[in-house]
Structure 1
Amino acid sequence: MGIITGVIGHWGWEVEDYLLDVWEAHRTPIILATSSILICVWLYLYFSEEREGLVALPRQYTVETKRTSPFQLSNPLPTTKPKVVGEKATTVGPKRIRGEIPRQTTQKESPKRDGLEIQVLVFYSSLTGKTEKAVKDLVEVSQEEINGAGTGTCRFPDAQILDLSEIDYDEYFINPPKREDGKAVDYFYLLLLPSYNIDTINDTFLEHLKETHNDFRIDSAPLSNLVGYSVFGFGDREGWPTEEDGYGFQAKEVDRWMAKLTGRKRAFPLGLGDLKMDGKARLLEWSSGLIDVLRMFAQTGVLGDGVRGSGDADESDGEYASDEEEDTETSIEGNEKPTKNKGSIDDVEDLGKMVAPSEKAPLAIDFTTYGKSKPVNIQTPQAKEMVPKTSPTYAALTKQGYSIIGSHSGVKICRWTKSALRGRGSCYKYSFYGINSHQCMESTPSLSCSNKCVFCWRHGTNPVGTIWRWQVDPPDLIFSGIKEAHYKKIKMMRGVPGVRAERFQEAMRIRHCALSLVGEPIFYPHINEFVGMLHAERISTFLVCNAQHPDQLAALKPITQLYVSIDAADKESLRRIDRPLHRDFWERFQRCLEILREKRFKQRTVFRLTLVKGFNIDEAVKGYADLVDKALPCFVEIKGVTYCGTSTSSSAGLTMANVPFYAEIQEFVEALNHELNSRGLEYGIAAEHAHSCCALLASARFKKNGKWHTRIDYDRFFDLWEERGPDGDWTPEDYMGEETPEWATWGNGGFDPRDTRVDRKGRKIEV
């Protein structure tokens, strides 16, 4: 027994020595391995216990998060796993700040707004004290209206005025401030500041805004919880005569950076004014618009279409980089998620590819000859909608920015309207006739047409027919519908960068209606009643017809200006270009010219020549002169075709090679003018608009004392309409307007000098 004990003791000492040697040799890895194992075991036990305490996320599950703006469609989901503590759920781990600006669709109503309080904060900077006085006067005058904008569920307390030189920017421009009493409140920021070419507090403030947006530690849009913001800038036109040369430049920069920091919650366009000239008037206009915005929010909980939180603006100007085309439009009506255009639908109505062949119904075309057509009972039980809401045509048109009114009418905001709102130029109608593009509404009471012109943007995919075979909507429904839809589209421009406040205010009063959007407006059975409603609200009318409906043209009451499309000088060319459905199209065409000749002393009549190289421009001057000699229109507009670049136009024989250069248009205009004068017809080249590739020939009736008077006295026109009625004794000379401005006459380009021409990237182009 003793021997055994001695052996075991000796062996134990050897094992102990061996383990000590191993420890000395491998001490560090052993410690690390043991620590790792212990940490893994601890984590396993911790998360096993955590999962046992978690519950599923039922619908009534709530997460304590920071209060969000009522504009957001939904609160963001928590980025960390929640931990249940009693009956409330809290988040575990640090709060994540997301820099992404979500794409949102139009919100009809805000979330819970009971007891909502909106605090208006007015920031300003001033060196001489003029801006400070203007701000205090503005708040004093507008305070009652601001308070009155509230409702039972939304209250506006007295506005607070803050001097940018006295506040801590971190308290207001990194996150909206918090009330000391802890009550929930939302904020609406107004910033009024002059621009200086010396170092001032403005430079410090701008640098802070820039650094805040670019600071990786915080959200790039930390002020997205604001209800909205707007900026007004004071300038000095004596020091900076133009906006491009610096007038109001610091206010523009503040507006741009605030758009970034708020996620584009520009509630009203940037306003600019000169206190020495029109500053007070511009400031009152700007404040009036803001009151309307606050009142809208109090009633609906949203700022309106086009403002972040209720819908996306359809254009950008450097605030947010985009590879999309500038003129691409996305419908935000309804709750569908905005999507990019795909495929080869380039602009408007290239709908053929979107309609499956099996979905195209056969067209009921009347090929009876002119003179034998019989009246059709358009209210028969078989009458159907021209553009049903369930049709692919309806879906595609609305997606491209059209608003379909009733079953056969439409309205769409013109690109020239958007351009004029941003001070980037107006269309030829302003140069020739004095029509403000931002106050012009483009619409039609009939989407159907009896031609399938090779250069038409619809390419024959819109409804066509020679007789009206659809149900008829009453004119008052169409009239109210197009106005409402147009104003809605104008309001979408409120948050678009570059929109001028004064023009935005003017755009909310329609002064002109161009009945030339899609189809044949004169085809609508109640066109006279519809035009009468427009004139009753002193809205001028320009109607374009395709010279295929002589009966309707003869019955048309006087409008402000009547157009007839003259797309060819002879029968075969007209067949090839317009591709009319009527078998007796040439006879109808000639009859329309005779009717136009009869109307020339009752209203202003216009020939619209669309020149297509290879179709109707080569050696066609004499043929067009014959048509002018027959109808003797008051004006002849010559315009180059616009190619929209789709395969359907290529199949019709039209390519980019068919688009004439403006030099070719000028050459044609001069040749036609020479031909007309050689025949003793008194016409002259009155005006041009090179940007539209368009020129105007006018009758000598509109030349006084050696000066052209192509513009219209619209107030006088409506006075004549009201005093003498549409059948009264009055002539176009009775409402002839002022002299055509020098910049619009032949040889001067015709670009509005009030505006700045830019390229697609927003860079200024020297005119």
Structure 2
Amino acid sequence: MAGTPAMIDSLAVWHAYRLPLLIALAVLVLTLRVYRQFNSRSKTAASSSVPVSPRSQSPEKSEKPDAPAQKSISPSTASPTTKITEKPTATPAAAVKSTAGPKRVQGRKPVKTIGGRRSSAENKENGPRVSFIQPIVFFASLTTTTERYANLLLEDLRIAVEKQSTSEDRKKGILPPQIHDISYLEFDDFFTSVPEAPADSPDIPGTRYVYCILVPTYNIDTVLNTFLGHLDETHNDFRIDTAPLSKLGGYSVFGFGDKEEWPTEEEGFCSQAKEIDRWMAKLTGRKRVFPLGMGDVKNDPEGALKDWTNGLLDIFNDIVEYGGLGEGVSGSGDAVESDEEDIEDDEESQKKKSSTMVDLEDIKMNGEGDSSAAPIPVDFTTVGKAGTTTDTAKEMVPKTSPTYAALTKQGYSIVGSHSGVKICRWTKSALRGRGSCYKYSFYGIRSHLCMEATPSLSCSNKCIFCWRHGTNPVGTTWRWKVDEPELIFNGVKEGHYKKIKMLRGVPGVRAERFAEAMRIRHCALSLVGEPIFYPHINRFLEMLHNERISSFLVCNAQHPDQLEALHRVTQLYVSIDASNRESLRKIDRPLHRDFWERFQRCLDILREKRSYQRTVFRLTLVNGFNVDDEVQGYANLVEKALPGLVEIKGVTFCGTSTSAGAGLTMKNVPFYEEVAAFCVALNAELERRGLKYGIAAEHAHSCCVLIASERFRVNDKWHTTINYQRFFELLEKEKADGTPFTPEDYMAETEEWAYFGNGGFNPDDERWYRKNRKPRPIDVAPESAPSS
């Protein structure tokens, strides 16, 4: 019986496609069965009376979770080759170990996993699922090298952001990175609590910060010591959680070190980076996104950083893809790593306890049994402080350190462990009759009789125009061995005389001046570092004055307590490198977090000292930093401190890579005409305010101009020069019977050739020009030059 054409067509279709249709039907049935079985297991797990998570419900770190009756393997921790038994087993009530007190039961959704990674939308520790990552790059740098590497990392992160989808409805990804210099941060904003997500972020609940920290390692006191101290205090502060940064998306640290100086990690290679990594692990609850990276500055550090960056970006993509740091993500802090850190912490704690605990019987024995032994200092108000007094203080500049090698290479003679002396180029010039520096024009100091020294090579600023190439130590507090003033005084004199003797064979040195140079008459405490940082600065000054060596002391207005306690000097300088907070931060790059407040307090102290000290403002002009539209600001500072003298000098470019990295080039060096014009404008503003100042002298060769108070103007003539013999007579009389004296008591008349408009070059010397270099004509109207 023949079928209809429709039936014949249907049979043909069935025979042609029956196999694929049967397979699709079987897959559909199997999928429905798996789905129903999965749903039933989820409901059984949710209704179970046994807590799913093995974590303790108590926030205390020391409390351990109860041990389960049967050991089972969790899907989130099982390896791909482990067979997982999913058959539910009943847990007898007797098998559950009881604990004292009521047990808190918190409803908690079981954590689902995808490929071994946690993907819970809500998690008590981690919060909402991570959808957007906001990377923040933190760096610390003295010589701007690490800053350069931080900017390379920033650029790589920006490139990664640009490669993402640009659609506005993007639901996850990496946000444009931020960058911060640790030196200028308020630590509480980033390292005491997690910063708030930006208001314009695509998905505020799912946006997490990830900290990328790049740091070098120094053997000197830097901002990293302050930073590490903050991390320590934050973790151990009983008022806040021990892991206040646990809401971060994660963190990772990269350190730079020098394997030539510190060959191994045990000897200090990248030691400060390791310390920061360890503290961040505690503060974040071990949310280490990627392992600690380390680069040798002498062996392709950029390549090591690039490898670390690539690994970091891979983890960023994993976090975005799976919603957080899963146990399956490399570097997230697995059990072995966490246990090792806990063991290290316990060992350190035990060491601290054993080293700081002192038996009262031992105290008695030390006090009575051994009369030669010094009493052990015990602080009964703070646990663990007693042991710190017995620690051996480190040297500021050890002979084996890179700092020592760098400074000696630059011509410094290191005295003791923290002092130095160096021959100034103007000393060499004066020995050959080619002129002295501005101090001779302004104050009557001949450069070949001057010694430039410092009792402290350490400074609390990292000025962009520093001549010391950024190699001198920096620090905010004195934490080093302290040399006696006698050692320093004898050492700097010996070093100075040795360097003078080395010049006896230099062509052009005049015999009479060489003989005069073997008797130091003046000491400029402005070589490098911060002289008043030295704890015994007053004793050192007394030794100078006892040998009738005058003293010019320069400070950077960052140590008000030491400035206030300073005894009389011949002339006291304060460096005023900017007229406002932001400019000062950019130019001086201070380490003190309250640098502006310290600066202001120093001005108040300077105003108090003006009645019996010659006080000087030292302004260093840097085009593009502190010149444009800052006359009003400088006038405000002069009005506040009322210094007797204001020196204004153009910056000297030393041509180092450090300066270039800080943004300083020859374009930032002003011409003398620019410096003179600035002085005229500042003097006019002071006159407009009724302040009695005038332009007194100049030294065009040094690109320097002097504004003086009318206190130093007598009979229409300037008296900025110092009568040094009279100064020591008055000083000795003050010591003998307490008779006070003022700056006006030892002033002398300024030479006419030094007046503003006359150039300021000593006519007894011969001006020397470099080969093939013609002198530039100087045309500055001497508007404020007094009539003679």
- Map of 1:380-529 to 2, 5 A cutoff? 381-529=391-539
Equivalent residues in 2 for 1:311-330, closer than 5 Å: none
- Residue 457 of structure 1 deviates from its aligned partner by 1.9
The answer to whether the 8 Å contact 2:406/2:471 transfers is no
- Name the CA distance, whole Å, in 2 between partners of 1:564 and 1:456: 16
Matching residue of 1:16: none
The alignment status of 1:681 with 2:681, answered yes or no, reads no
**Alpha-carbon offset, residue 394 of structure 1:** 0.8
Tell me which amino acid in the other structure corresponds to 2:489: F
Q: Describe the shift of the 1:452–1:482 C-alpha distance in structure 2 as closer, same or farther (beyond 3 A).
A: same
Instruction: Give me the whole-angstrom Cα distance separating, in 1, the residues matched to 2:751 and 2:424.
Output: 24
Are the counterparts in 1 of residues 407 and 471 from structure 2 also a CA contact under 8 Å? no
Q: Would the aligned equivalents of 2:407 and 2:472 in 1 still touch at CA under 8 Å?
A: no
User: 1:365 touches 1:581 (CA, 8 Å); kept in 2?
Assistant: no
Q: Distance in 1 between matches of 2:622 and 2:492?
A: 32
Return the offset for 1:651: 1.2
Cα drift, residue 704 of structure 1: 0.4
Shift of 1:378: 10
Q: Is residue 360 from structure 1 mapped to residue 218 from structure 2 by the alignment?
A: yes
Q: Evaluate the alpha carbon distance shift between residue 378 and residue 744 of structure 1 in structure 2; reply closer, same or farther with a 3 A threshold.
A: farther
Does structure 2 conserve the Cα–Cα contact (< 8 Å) formed by 1:425 and 1:756?
A: yes
Residue 529 (structure 2) pairs with residue 671 (structure 1): no
* 2: CA distance, partners of 1:476 / 1:550: 25
- In the alignment, the residues of structure 2 paired with residue 763 and residue 502 of structure 1 have an alpha-carbon distance, to the nearest angstrom, of 29
Q: Distance in 2 between matches of 1:581 and 1:400?
A: 24
How far is the alpha carbon of 1:757 from its aligned partner?
A: 1.2
Deviation at 1:462, TM superposition (A): 1.4
SS in 2 for 1:636: strand
Other structure's SS at 1:595 match: helix
- Map 1:539-578 → 2, pairs under 5 A: 539-578=549-588
Matched, 1:602 2:599: no
- In angstroms, what is the RMSD of aligned CA positions? 2.7
Would the aligned equivalents of 1:758 and 1:764 in 2 still touch at CA under 8 Å? Answer: no
| Equivalent position to 1:626, from 636, 644, 656 | 636
Query: After the TM superposition, which of the residue ranges 562-571 and 378-387 deviates more from structure 2?
Result: 378-387
Q: Equivalent residue of 1:535, what SS? A: helix
Q: Is 2:609 aligned against 1:751? A: no
1:725 alignment partner, SS class: helix
| Contact 1:378 1:472 survives alignment (8 Å) | no
Residue 350 of structure 1 contacts residue 457 of structure 1 at CA under 8 Å; is this kept in 2?
no
Contact 1:685 1:746 in 2 (8 A): yes
Structure 1 partner of 2:212: none
Q: C-alpha separation between the residues in 2 aligned to 1:592 and 1:411?
A: 26
Q: Distance in 1 between matches of 2:763 and 2:606?
A: 35
Counterparts of 1:550 and 1:766, CA distance in 2: 42
1:759 Cα deviation from its structure 2 partner: 2.1
SS of residue matched to 2:652: coil
Q: Aligned pair in 2 of structure 1 residues 376, 651: CA closer, same or farther (>3 Å)?
A: farther
Paired residues of 1:426 and 1:437 also in contact (CA < 8 A): yes
CA distance in 2, matches of 1:365, 1:619: 37
Give, in angstroms, the shift of residue 377 of structure 1: 11
| 1:757–1:765 Cα contact (<8 Å) kept | no
Deviations 1:148-197 (A, max 9, x none): xxxxxxxxxxxxxxxxxxxxxxxxxxxxxxxxxxxxxxxxxxxxxxxxxx
Decide whether the 8 Å contact of 2:419 with 2:457 is kept in 1. yes
Distance 2:411 2:144 in 1: 13
Question: Contact conserved, 1:545 with 1:565, CA < 8 A, in 2?
Answer: yes
1:351/1:718 Cα in 2 relative to 1: closer, same or farther (>3 Å)? Answer: farther
* Deviation by residue 1:291-332 (Cα, 9 ceiling, x = unmatched): xxxxxxxxxxxxxxxxxxxxxxxxxxxxxxxxxxxxxxxxxx
Give me the whole-angstrom Cα distance separating, in 1, the residues matched to 2:387 and 2:563.
Answer: 20
SS in 2 for 1:435: coil
**Residues 589 and 629 from structure 1, CA distance in 2 versus in 1: closer, same or farther, beyond 3 angstroms?**
same
Do the aligned partners of 2:623 and 2:669 also contact (CA within 8 Å) in 1? yes
Q: 1:654 aligns with which of 645, 664, 674?
A: 664
Cα distance change of structure 1 residues 591 and 358 upon mapping to structure 2, 3 Å threshold: closer
For residues 92-111 of structure 1, the aligned pairs below 5 Å read none
For 1:708 and 1:395, the matched residues in 2 are separated by 45
Report the Cα distance in structure 1 between the residues aligned to 2:556 and 2:414, rounded to whole angstroms.
Answer: 22
Aligned residues: 412
Percentage identity across paired residues of the two chains = 73
Distance 2:472 2:545 in 1: 28
Any idea what the Cα deviations from partners look like across 1:581-624, whole Å, max 9, x if unmatched?
Answer: 11111110000000000000111000000000000000100100
Instruction: Please give the alpha-carbon distance, in whole angstroms, between the structure 1 residues aligned to 2:389 and 2:671.
Output: 48
Cα distance change, pair 742–680 in 1 and its aligned pair in 2 (3 A): same
Q: Output aligned runs, 1:192-207, within 5 Å.
A: none
For residues 591 and 669 of structure 2, what CA distance do their matches in structure 1 show?
A: 25
Q: Deviations over 1:553-592 (max 9, x none)?
A: 0000010000000011011111111111111111100000
Alignment partner of 1:730 out of 724, 727, 741: 741
CA shift at 1:762, angstroms? Answer: 9.9
Specify whether residues 350 and 428 from structure 1 end up closer, same or farther in structure 2 by C-alpha distance, changes over 3 A only.
farther
Matches of 1:380 and 1:641, distance apart in 2: 45
- Asked if the contact 1:425/1:751 (under 8 Å) is kept, the reply is yes
Give distance in 2, aligned partners of 1:658 and 1:400: 24
Tell me which residue corresponds to 1:163.
none
Alpha-carbon distance between aligned partners in 1 of 2:722 and 2:511, rounded to the nearest angstrom: 26
AA aligned to 1:360 is Y
> CA separation in 1, counterparts of 2:660 and 2:473?
21
Cα distance in structure 2, aligned partners of 1:701 and 1:651:
43
Structure 1: how far apart are the matches of 2:707 and 2:216?
A: 47
Kindly state the Cα deviation for residue 458 of structure 1 after the two structures are TM-superposed. Answer: 2.6
Alignment of 1:104-123 (within 5 A): none
Task: Give, in whole Å, the separation in 2 of the partners of 1:551 and 1:376.
Answer: 26
Q: Distance in 2 between matches of 1:763 and 1:655?
A: 21
Deviation at 1:460?
Answer: 3.4
Q: 1:636 aligns with which of 625, 646, 657?
A: 646
What's the secondary structure of 1:423's corresponding residue? Answer: coil
Specify the SS of the correspondent of 1:494.
coil
- CA shift, 1:459, in A, is 4.4
Structure 1 unpaired stretches of 5+: 1-348
Residue identity opposite 1:733 in structure 2: E
Residue 705 of structure 2 aligns to a residue in which SS?
A: strand
TM-score (normalizing by structure 2): 0.50
Q: Could you report, residue by residue, the CA deviation over 1:632-658 in whole angstroms, capped at 9, with x for unpaired residues?
A: 000000000011112211111111111
Deviation at 1:428, TM superposition (A): 0.1
Seen in structure 2, the aligned counterparts of structure 1 residues 351 and 583 have a Cα distance that, compared at 3 Å, is closer
In 2, Cα distance between equivalents of 1:462 and 1:493: 26
Which sits farther off after the overlay, 456-465 or 707-716? 456-465
8 Å CA contact 2:144–2:658 kept in 1: the answer is no
Q: CA deviation at 1:682?
A: 0.2
Deviations 1:40-79 (A, max 9, x none): xxxxxxxxxxxxxxxxxxxxxxxxxxxxxxxxxxxxxxxx
How does 1:251-266 map onto structure 2 within 5 Å? Answer: none
Could you tell me which amino acid in structure 2 is paired with residue 438 of structure 1? H
Cα separation, 1, equivalents of 2:458 and 2:615: 23
Q: 1:414 to 1:350 in 2, by over 3 A?
A: farther
Give the whole-Å Cα distance in 2 for the aligned partners of 1:378 and 1:724.
41
CA shift, 1:380, in A, is 5.2
How has the CA–CA distance of structure 1 residues 352 and 505 changed in structure 2, closer, same or farther, with 3 Å as cutoff? farther
